[in-house]
Structure 1
Amino acid sequence: MPQATTTNLYALDENELWWTGHFEYLKERGYMMRPRYRPGWQPSYRPGTLDVLFAEDAQTLPHPYIMDALRMSDSYMVALKLVKVSTGEDAIATFFSNEEHNTNPRNHCIRVLEVLPVPGIDDEKIIVMPWLRKIMDPRFRTIGEAVHFFREMIEGLQCMHQNNVAHRDCARNNLGMDANSMFTREYHPIVPKKRYNWTGRALHHSRTRRPPRYYLIDFGQSRMYDPLQPRPSEYALKSGGHTPPEGDADTPCDPFATDVYILGTMIRASFLDGDPNASHRPGVDGFEFLRPLVNDMIADDPTKRPTMDEVASRFSDIVGKLHWWKLRSRAVQKDEFLSTPFRTVYHIFWTASMMLLLKPAIPSPKPPQ
Structure 2
Amino acid sequence: MPFEDGQPMIHSDVMDALRMSDSLVVAFKRVKLSEARIATLFSNDINNLHPRNHCVRLLEVLPVPNEDDKKILVMVWMRPVMNPRFRTVGEAIQFFTEMIEGLQYMHENNVAHRDCSINNMAMDANSMYPRPFHPMKPKKQYDWSGKALHHSRTRCPPRYYLMDFGHSRIYDSSSSQSRTLEYALMSGGCTPPEGLEGRPCDPFATDVFLLGNLIRTSFLDGDSELAEPGVSGFEFLRPLAMDMLAEDPSKRLTMDEVSSRFSQIVEKLSWWTLRSRAIKKSEHVLSKPFRATYHIFWTISMLVLLKPAIPRPKPLC
Correspondence list, 1:343-358, <5 A: 343-358=291-306
1:189 & 1:290 partners in 2: Cα distance?
33
Instruction: Find the counterpart in structure 2 of residue 162 from structure 1.
Output: 108
- Matched position secondary structure for 2:140: coil
The letter of the residue matching 1:252 is P
| 1, 8, 18: which one aligns with 1:70 | 18
Instruction: Indicate yes or no: 2:269 matched with 1:322.
Output: yes
Within the alignment, does 1:195 sit opposite 2:141 as a pair?
Answer: yes
The CA distance in 2 between the partners of 1:245 and 1:66, in whole Å, is 32
CA distance in 2, matches of 1:114, 1:106: 21
Specify which structure has the bigger relative contact order, considering alpha-carbon pairs within 8 angstroms and separated by 6 or more residues: 2
In structure 2, the gaps of 5 or more residues are none
Task: Provide the rounded CA distance (Å) in 1 between the counterparts of 2:309 and 2:28.
Answer: 35
Q: How many residues align?
A: 314
Q: Distance in 2 between matches of 1:184 and 1:71?
A: 17
Residue number in structure 2 paired with 1:289: 236
Write the distance in 2 (CA, Å) between the matches of 1:130 and 1:231.
Answer: 33
In structure 2, distance between residues paired with 1:95 and 1:204: 33
- Confirm whether residue 215 of structure 1 aligns to residue 158 of structure 2: no
Residue 7 of structure 1 is matched in structure 2 by: none
- Quick check: which has more Rg, 1 or 2? 1
Partner of 2:131: 185
Report the TM-score when normalising by structure 1. Answer: 0.84
Q: Do residues 274 (structure 1) and 205 (structure 2) align?
A: no
Query: Distance in 1 between the 2:231 and 2:70 partners?
Result: 41
Distance in 1 (alpha carbons) for counterparts of 2:16 and 2:229? 30
Q: CA deviation at 1:232?
A: 0.6
Helix, strand or coil: the match of 1:270? helix
C-alpha contact (below 8 Å) 2:108/2:174 kept by paired residues: no
Letter of the aligned partner of 1:300 in structure 2? Answer: E
Matches of 1:175 and 1:154 in 2, distance apart? 12
TM-score by length of 2: 0.98
Partner of 1:313: 260
Residue identity matched to 1:350: W
Paired residue for 1:22?
A: none
- The answer for the alignment partner of 2:59 in structure 1 is 113
- 1:336 is matched with 283
Q: What's the CA shift for 1:123?
A: 1.1
Matches within 5 A, 1:223-302: 223-227=169-173, 230-279=178-227, 281-302=228-249
CA distance in structure 1 between the partners assigned to 2:270 and 2:6 by the alignment: 48
Structure 1 unaligned spans of 5+:
1-51
Shift of 1:368: 2.9
Q: CA-to-partner distance for each residue in 1:45-96, whole Å, 9 max, x for gaps?
A: xxxxxxx1x20011111112111111122111111001122xx100000000
The amino acid across from 1:336 in the alignment is E
**Alignment of structure 1 residues 36-55 onto 2, 5 Å:** 52=1, 54-55=2-3
1:31-180 correspondence to structure 2 within 5 Å: 52=1, 54-85=2-33, 88-180=34-126
